């Protein structure tokens, strides 16, 4: 099994690094595939990663490893080199990966590296104009485009004469103004009679993205139409690049990870770096927001000191009321966030989704409210209205939670903000405060 082999390779390399056996580590690296080296680097600490990277002898392999790493990690490794050495590596990388790494480097440093690259910087520079996370920023400029009046025979000969590129399983067909007019798979091409013109056998009007299409939309198109590559055009329909399915897979993994971590109020950067102090700093904002929310809770409960002092058992029910509200809120929020990002929920037709979430919330609120009230009867706590108070309290808290959990991500999304952010600490903190307020308001009125 390849998995087991990997694990052994990583274990050996790690052992050599730990022992400082640099000579043996270098020898092991020389025999390894760049993919495997990248996998190991990805899991080392920052210091070890730099040390191992510098052990790789060939510029070729280093460039390949850089293209395989997360771009921020690649930028980190490049950061330790002088401009000439950096330029040599960047120049050997596919332009799209090179541009992505340079985006993560401070602007003036990136300019130095581009300067040191001379003319070969052109391809990379032309990609740097596109905003992050757009089709333009992840497209490759290496693809096969041929004129529509070329014959099939000529097309095959052209492909045979070219070095292999990432996207060589499709041939794109352009008209005299370089406009994208059709596509042919290599397989379709070899099925045609040699003298036919490409325009007569191509699939016309292929699915495409423009340079400013969001990368999530790119992923959706590729997934939906089972494409191996998606052509990218400018506003005038001129073919500028191609996004291959392997980049789409990277986008999908990245976006899913981002969604999950954002919901927890943390980021990918935190996970990829080993310093706990920086980790704490990254998490601090969301926890601080939650802390401020908690302080509002203290102020709120202060106003209800009277009822709490006369019926101290109310406090016993705070954890269950807060906990159930929190769980309901995250369930609703995650369903909505994931629905929005997979496209199952559309902002244009929210009615049935909202109705279903709130319906589910209502059923659960009534059920658990009745349950908690019955339990309170058994405990015999407080005056006779006590069971009704805790029953209504938990129901109110769960209903508030379902409403906020469903609506806040939708509101964020409508405002153009990321709904994943809303479904984490924002939803739970707001739910906590409103839930407690509802509980003690009921207590204040009935006790």
- In the range 222-241, which residues lie near its own copies by CB under 8 A? 222-226, 228
Site string for its own copies, 248-267 (x = CB under 8 A): xxx-xx--xx-xxx-xxxx-
Shorter beta-carbon distance to its own copies: residue 179 or 360: 360
C-beta of 7: minimal distance to its own copies in Å? 7
How far apart are the C-alpha atoms of 80 and 94, rounded to whole Å? Answer: 21
Q: In the set 26, 234, 279, 377, which binds its own copies (CB under 8 A)?
A: 279
- Per CB under 8 A, contacts with its own copies among 95-154 are none
- Per CB under 8 A, contacts with its own copies among 187-226 are 187-188, 190-191, 207, 210, 213, 217, 221-226
- Per CB under 8 A, contacts with its own copies among 298-327 are 298, 301-302, 305, 308-309, 312-324, 326-327
C-beta of 191: minimal distance to its own copies in Å? 6
The SS3 of residue 232 is strand
Shorter beta-carbon distance to its own copies: residue 114 or 140: 140
Structure letter (DSSP) for residue 441:
H
- Per CB under 8 A, contacts with its own copies among 422-441 are 424-425, 428-429, 432-433, 436
Shorter beta-carbon distance to its own copies: residue 308 or 388: 308
Shorter beta-carbon distance to its own copies: residue 91 or 326: 326
Q: In the set 57, 129, 204, 295, which binds its own copies (CB under 8 A)?
A: 295
When asked if residue 35 is in the footprint of its own copies (CB under 8 A), the reply is yes
Judged by CB under 8 A, the stretch of 97-105, 145-153, 235-243, 269-277 that binds its own copies is 269-277
Spatial CA neighbour of 231 closest among 339, 328, 108, 143: 143
Shorter beta-carbon distance to its own copies: residue 81 or 156: 156
Spatial CA neighbour of 203 closest among 227, 234, 176, 167: 227
Q: Which residues 6+ apart lie within 8 Å of 162 measured at CB?
A: 144, 168
How far apart are the C-alpha atoms of 25 and 14, rounded to whole Å? Answer: 9
The SS3 of residue 204 is strand
Task: Please name the residue that has the structure tokens 């009321």.
Answer: 321
Q: Which residues 6+ apart lie within 8 Å of 267 measured at CB?
A: 258, 261, 282
C-beta of 175: minimal distance to its own copies in Å? 21
Shorter beta-carbon distance to its own copies: residue 20 or 380: 380
When asked if residue 15 is in the footprint of its own copies (CB under 8 A), the reply is no
Question: For the residues of 103-149, what is the DSSP string, one character each?
Answer: HTS-HHHHHHHHHHHGGGGHHHHHHHTSPTTBHHHH-BS---EEETT
- Give phi and psi for 11, each to the nearest 5: -60, -45
The SS3 of residue 241 is strand
C-beta of 256: minimal distance to its own copies in Å? 3
What Å distances lie between residue 414 and 226, 388, 408, CA to CA?
Answer: 29, 38, 10
Site string for its own copies, 325-354 (x = CB under 8 A): -xxx-xx-xxx-xxx--x-x-x-xx--x--
When asked if residue 160 is in the footprint of its own copies (CB under 8 A), the reply is yes
Cβ atoms of 399 and 326 closer than 8 Å? no
The SS3 of residue 203 is strand
Shorter beta-carbon distance to its own copies: residue 286 or 412: 286
**What dihedral angle (degrees, nearest 10) is formed by the CA atoms of 372, 378, 382, 386?**
30
Count residues binding its own copies (CB under 8 A). Answer: 128
The SS3 of residue 274 is coil
- Residue 409 tokens, joined: 């991500």
- Per CB under 8 A, contacts with its own copies among 371-410 are 371-372, 375, 379
C-beta of 281: minimal distance to its own copies in Å? 9
Q: In the set 19, 43, 153, 414, which binds its own copies (CB under 8 A)?
A: 43
Q: Which residues 6+ apart lie within 8 Å of 428 measured at CB?
A: 290, 326, 329, 330
- Residue 399 tokens, joined: 């209903």
How far apart are the C-alpha atoms of 7 and 143, rounded to whole Å? Answer: 35
Shorter beta-carbon distance to its own copies: residue 84 or 281: 281
Shorter beta-carbon distance to its own copies: residue 53 or 286: 286
Shorter beta-carbon distance to its own copies: residue 108 or 226: 226
């Amino acid at each position: 099994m390849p998995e087991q082999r990997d694990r052994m390779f990583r274990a050996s390399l790690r052992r050599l690094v730990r022992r400082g056996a640099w000579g043996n580590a270098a020898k092991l690296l020389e025999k390894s595939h760049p993919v495997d080296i990248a996998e190991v680097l990805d899991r080392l600490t920052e210091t070890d990663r730099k040390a191992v990277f510098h052990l790789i002898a060939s510029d070729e392999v280093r460039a390949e490893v850089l293209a395989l790493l997360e771009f921020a990690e690649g930028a980190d490794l490049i950061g330790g080199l002088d401009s000439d050495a950096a330029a040599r590596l960047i120049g050997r990388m596919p332009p799209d990966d090179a541009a992505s790494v340079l985006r993560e480097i401070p602007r003036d440093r990136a300019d130095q590296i581009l300067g040191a690259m001379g003319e070969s910087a052109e391809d990379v520079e032309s990609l740097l104009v596109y905003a992050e996370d757009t089709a333009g920023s992840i497209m490759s400029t290496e693809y096969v485009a041929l004129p529509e009046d070329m014959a099939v025979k000529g097309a095959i000969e052209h492909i045979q004469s070219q070095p292999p590129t990432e996207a060589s399983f499709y041939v794109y067909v352009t008209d005299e103004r370089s406009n994208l007019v059709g596509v042919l798979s290599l397989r379709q091409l070899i099925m045609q009679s040699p003298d036919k013109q490409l325009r007569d056998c191509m699939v016309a009007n292929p699915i495409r993205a423009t340079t400013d299409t969001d990368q999530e939309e790119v992923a959706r198109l590729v997934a939906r139409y089972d494409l191996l590559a998606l052509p990218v055009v400018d506003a005038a329909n001129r073919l500028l690049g191609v996004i291959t399915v392997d980049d789409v897979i990277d986008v999908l993994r990245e976006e899913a990870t981002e969604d999950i971590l954002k919901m927890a109020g943390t980021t990918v950067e935190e996970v990829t770096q080993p310093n706990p102090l920086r980790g704490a700093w990254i998490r601090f904002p969301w926890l601080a927001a939650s802390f401020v929310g908690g302080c509002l809770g203290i102020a709120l409960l202060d106003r209800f000191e009277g009822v709490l002092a006369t019926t101290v058992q109310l406090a016993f029910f705070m954890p269950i009321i807060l906990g159930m509200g929190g769980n309901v809120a995250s369930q609703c929020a995650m369903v909505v966030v994931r629905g929005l990002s997979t496209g199952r929920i559309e902002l244009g037709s929210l009615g049935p989704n909202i109705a279903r979430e709130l319906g589910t919330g209502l059923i659960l609120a009534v059920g658990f409210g009745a349950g908690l009230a019955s339990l309170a009867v058994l405990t015999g706590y407080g005056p006779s209205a006590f069971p009704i108070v805790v029953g209504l309290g938990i129901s109110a808290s769960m209903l508030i939670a379902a409403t906020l959990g469903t609506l806040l991500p939708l509101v964020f999304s409508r405002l153009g903000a990321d709904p994943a952010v809303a479904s984490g600490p924002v939803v739970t903190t707001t739910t906590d405060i409103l839930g407690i307020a509802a509980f003690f308001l009921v207590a204040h009125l009935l006790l």
